[in-house]
């Protein structure tokens, strides 16, 4: 019954989404959130929920004619001290991030200077034989300009914080659409395809448990 209802809802989804696609937006900001929904598809304006499978290939979102920013918040921390380390759950999420990005060709890995962001980025960087480069999360305009100039048509991973990830997304998309992430959420992953600063498509995913 779930499968049948899922197919019916999918048909309605496709019909509705075709209407959405007729609307022009500048810059275009499309948010796709991937979550486990047991084959049921639900659609809301500008948000598409689809079933996540272990075979999802993120390379389909990486285009060699644009610069791809993979932007996310650090994983879970111990909460101990002013510069906490990742907790066991956080280390597990960092390793899951490594797995999720295993087939994505990265040109650079960026992190803020805190233990929690560095430890989130390190497994990916190590697998890609890259060093983790530090960036200033409170200067998103300058960071975006430098990254677009130095890694044009490449893909970069950027690990930040609940209040800095949306700032970078807003700079890349030329909007104010993104607000601070909830402190309790660590599973958001944003793939931003940037033609130029202010013209970007955002795919919003969920990863890990």
Q: What is the pLDDT of residue 30?
A: 52
The total number of structural domains in the chain stands at 1
Q: Is residue 187 part of a domain?
A: yes
Q: Is residue 19 part of a domain?
A: no
Q: Is residue 35 part of a domain?
A: no
CB neighbour class for 51 (10 Å; exposed up to 12, middle 13-18, buried from 19): middle
Q: What confidence category does residue 199 fall into, taking pLDDT thresholds of 50, 70 and 90?
A: confident
Of the candidates 19, 54, 18, 12, the one whose C-alpha atom is nearest the C-alpha of residue 34 is: 54
Q: What is the DSSP string of the chain?
A: -HHHHHHHHHHHHHHHHHHHTTS--SS---EEEE---TT--EEETTEEEE---TT--GGGG--TTSEEEEEEE---B---SSSPPBPHHHHHHHHHHHHHTTTS--SEEEE-SSHHHHHHHHHHHHHTT-PEEE--TT-HHHHHHHHHHHSTT-EEEEEE-TTTHHHHHHHHHTSS---PPPTT---EEEEEEEEETTEEEEEEEE---
Q: Is residue 32 part of a domain?
A: no
For 5-9, 25-29, 118-122, 165-169, which range has the lowest pLDDT when averaged over its residues?
5-9
Q: What is the DSSP string of 62-94?
A: --TTSEEEEEEE---B---SSSPPBPHHHHHHH
Residue-wise pLDDT for 78-106, tens only, equals 999 999 999 999 999 999 999 888 888 99
Tell me the pTM.
Answer: 0.75
Q: Is residue 76 part of a domain?
A: yes
Q: What is the pLDDT of residue 204?
A: 86
List the CATH number of the domain containing 93. Answer: 3.40.50.1240
Q: Is residue 171 part of a domain?
A: yes
Instruction: Quote the domain boundaries for residue 156.
Output: 54-206
Q: Is residue 195 part of a domain?
A: yes
Residue-wise pLDDT for 145-185, tens only, equals 999 999 999 999 999 999 999 999 999 999 999 999 999 99
Which of residues 53 and 116 earns the better pLDDT score?
116
């Amino acid at each position: 019954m779930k499968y049948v209802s899922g197919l019916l809802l999918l048909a309605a989804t496709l019909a509705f989404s075709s209407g959405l696609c007729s609307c022009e937006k500048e810059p275009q900001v499309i948010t796709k959130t991937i979550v486990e929904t047991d084959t049921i598809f639900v659609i809301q304006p500008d948000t598409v929920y689809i079933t996540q499978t272990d075979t999802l290939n993120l390379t389909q979102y990486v285009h060699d004619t644009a610069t791809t920013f993979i932007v996310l918040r650090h994983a879970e921390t111990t909460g101990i001290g002013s510069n906490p380390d990742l907790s066991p759950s956080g280390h597990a999420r960092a390793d899951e991030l490594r797995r999720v990005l295993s087939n994505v060709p990265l040109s650079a890995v960026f992190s803020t200077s805190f233990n929690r962001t560095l430890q989130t980025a390190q497994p990916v960087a190590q697998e890609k034989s890259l060093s983790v480069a530090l960036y200033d999360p409170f200067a998103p305009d300058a960071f975006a300009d430098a990254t677009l100039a130095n890694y044009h048509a490449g893909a970069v991973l950027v690990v930040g914080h609940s209040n800095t990830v949306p700032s970078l997304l807003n700079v890349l998309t030329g909007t104010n659409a993104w607000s601070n992430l909830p402190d309790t959420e660590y599973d958001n992953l944003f793939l931003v395809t940037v033609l130029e600063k202010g013209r970007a498509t955002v795919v919003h995913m969920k990863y890990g448990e």
